[in-house]
A = this chain, B = another copy of it.
Amino acid sequence: MKLKYFPIAIIVTCLTTLDVAANQTPSFSKKDLKIAAELRDQALEGSKDYEIVESLTTEVGPRMAGTPGDAAAVKWGVAKLKELGFDKVWTEPVTFPTWKRGVETAEVIAPYPQPLVITALGFSVATSEEGLTAEIVQFDDLDALEKAPDNAAEGKIVFIRNRMERARDGSGYGPAVAARGSGASEAAKKGALGILIRSIGTDTDRMAHTGMMRYEEGIEKIPAAALSAPDADLLENMIRRGKSVTVSMTIGAKSGDAYTSHNVIGEITGSEKPEEYVIIGAHLDSWDLGTGALDDGAGIGITAAAAKLILGLPQRPKRSIRVIMFANEEQGLVGGKAYADAHKDDVQNIITAAESDFGAGKIWRIDSKVKPEALPAVKQMVEVMKPLGIAYGNNEAGGGPDLIPLRGKGISVFSLRQDGTDYFDYHHTPNDTLDKIDPEALRQNTAAYVIFAYLSAQFDGDFGSGFHQK
């Protein structure tokens, strides 16, 4: 009996293990959890995170898509990943239209002549060389502009004055940024010759926030710029006096030829299932005004440094880990789309993914987007993050801007949500510089990413990637 049943017992045990691993309650081994905790503590003691972002901002600086800084950043990224000892480093092409900033000045002509601080929105057309001079017509927000009569801005410069709300999760951005994206075409529909918006930001610094705008097809393209917050206040204060306010604005921006940049990828090659991989990443490009420390040098530093810690383990994790430095996120998630296109036939190999692109504030919450069976494992992962002050949120993670195209193809993603209370003080301004990064907060981020990347690479189950979750 004993002998007879013994093989059956083994079979049963094996089946159970397989079941657990594949479908029911996959979990991390005690050993892996211990290694993850050790990696976390190493990250808190100090890793390459700050050094990497210092290197990028100092040696490259501004790296707007299609500029010499973009090319320098790609070169830097390849060299940095090789220097860090990744098993494989390569680039993949990303092609897009380009735009260049030129002169950008504005001034109140009447009734109270004063200069104004503005910056052109990305892909704005230029004014004539002499500039555009017209009366200002003020709207409370984009909605008010849209609802205005057809000729409400005839021959005028529209000024949209609404303010972005400050919030830890950045939730003020969405409602405010619509004015930046589509304000120009909506203003043109009402007969406007140009548009000035209050900067999409939460600061009161005399710096305007740039960012993308888009022209609606078939609608006249009018020049579009953002005013710094104090300048928007100034215009409001002048307008409140009931007098006609005339502004002159000159924008010399222009669109250029198509340009091919590159996603830069470094791989830690897995020891058991090398074709399956976890993505951690950030975008390599920045806007042109700052040195792109918060947006998104911090993400580059965090994710590359997390991987570097895993490279320091005595053996490679089971699955591969790819650090992707995405090209041209700022002008339309172009690098993320290119990656999803290039890898559309092997997307099932992506076990899960997370992008760091919300500055350098501490992570306070982690959201997942996994199949229900993987949730207990997620809870185990969160336990290792708990000493970092990170709590579990929900199973509706977005994953980060450059992962939107891959998420659309059904991959699992995680959102390691950073405290963004101050992020929009600096976002897309000259003020996005290295000094805004708190090295301690950066270390906390790296600690969370190394837990996420290592455990995901070791996971015996799967998170539902390739199952086309929506």
Contact = CB atoms under 8 A, between A and B. Distances in A.
A205 B114 contact: no
Interface in A12-61: 54, 57-61
B206 A112 contact: no
A433 B232 CA distance: 11
A68 interface: yes
Given A58-B238, A206-B430, A237-B54, A229 B435 contact: yes
A77 to B, nearest CB: 15
A212 interface: no
A200 B353 CA distance: 45
Which residue of A68, A206, A430 has the most chain B CB atoms within 10 A of its CB atom?
A206
B62 A115 contact: yes
A444 interface: no
A178 B353 CA distance: 54
A446 B199 CA distance: 33
Contacts of A155: none
Contacts of A204: 433, 435-436
A291 interface: yes
B207 A206 contact: yes
A331 B369 CA distance: 62
8 A-B pairs with least C-beta separation: A61-B114, A230-B433, A206-B430, A58-B237, A204-B435, A206-B431, A59-B112, A230-B435
Interface of A: 54, 57-62, 68, 111-115, 117, 204-207, 229-230, 233-234, 237-238, 241, 290-291, 429-431, 433-436
30 contacts: A54-B237, A58-B112, A58-B234, A58-B238, A59-B112, A61-B114, A61-B115, A61-B234, A62-B114, A62-B115, A68-B113, A114-B291, A117-B430, A204-B433, A204-B436, A205-B205, A205-B207, A205-B431, A206-B429, A206-B430, A206-B431, A207-B207, A229-B435, A230-B291, A230-B431, A230-B434, A233-B433, A233-B434, A234-B433, A234-B434
